Amino acid sequence: MNLKRVRAVANKEYIQIIRDPRSLALGLLIPVILIVLFGYALSLDIKNVPLAIWDQDNSKVSVDFLLNFKNSDYFKIIGYYDNYRDLERLLDYGETMMAMVIPKDFSRYIYSNQSAPVQLILDGSDSNTAQISLGYAQSVVQAYNDKLLRKASQTNLVNPQPISLEQRIWFNQDFESKNFIVPGLIAIIMMIIAALLTSLTVAREWERGTMEQLISTPVRSSELIIGKFLPYFAIGMIDLVISVVLGRFIFFVPLRGSLLQLAIMSALFLTGALSLGIFISTVAKNQLMASQMAILTSFLPTFLLSGFTYEIFNMPEWVQGITYLIPARYFIKILRGIYLKDVGMVELWPEAICLVVFSILMSRLAIHKFKKKII
In this prediction, residue 358 carries a pLDDT of 93
pLDDT bracket for residue 181 (50, 70, 90): confident
pTM for this entry: 0.77
Q: Is 37 strand, coil or helix?
A: helix
What is the Cα–Cα distance from 102 to 61, expressed in whole angstroms?
A: 11
State yes or no: pLDDT of 38 exceeds 70.
Answer: no
**Paired sense of beta strands 75-80 and 116-123, if any:** unpaired
In this prediction, residue 372 carries a pLDDT of 45
Longest dimension (CA), the chain: 96
| Beta-ladder partners of 120 | 100, 167
Q: At what angle do helices 127-153 and 60-70 cross, to 10 degrees?
A: 130
**Paired sense of beta strands 98-102 and 163-170, if any:** unpaired
In the predicted model, what is the mean pLDDT of residues 167-180? 83
| Alpha helices by DSSP H, the chain | 3-19, 21-36, 60-70, 84-93, 106-110, 127-153, 177-196, 201-208, 211-216, 221-249, 259-283, 287-294, 300-305, 317-323, 327-336, 345-374
In the predicted model, what is the mean pLDDT of residues 317-327? 89
Say which DSSP state 200 is in: G
pLDDT bracket for residue 162 (50, 70, 90): confident
Higher-confidence residue of 76 and 42: namely: 76
Higher-confidence residue of 223 and 108: namely: 108
DSSP 297-325: IIIHHHHHHSSSSS-GGGS-HHHHHHHTT
What is the Cα–Cα distance from 277 to 274, expressed in whole angstroms?
A: 5
What is the Cα–Cα distance from 145 to 363, expressed in whole angstroms?
A: 58
In the predicted model, what is the mean pLDDT of residues 233-254? 88
Mean of all residue pLDDT scores within the chain? 82
pLDDT bracket for residue 265 (50, 70, 90): very high
| Least confident piece of the model among 177-186, 255-264, 268-277 | 177-186
- Where are the domain boundaries for CATH 3.40.1710.10 in the chain? 49-170
In this prediction, residue 301 carries a pLDDT of 86
Residue 118 in contact with residue 106, Cβ under 8 Å?
yes
pLDDT in tens, 248-257: 888 888 888 8
In the predicted model, what is the mean pLDDT of residues 30-48? 67
* Rounded to 5°, angle at Cα 286 from 282 and 288: 115
Quick one: 49-170 is in which CATH superfamily?
abc type-2 transporter like domain (3.40.1710.10)
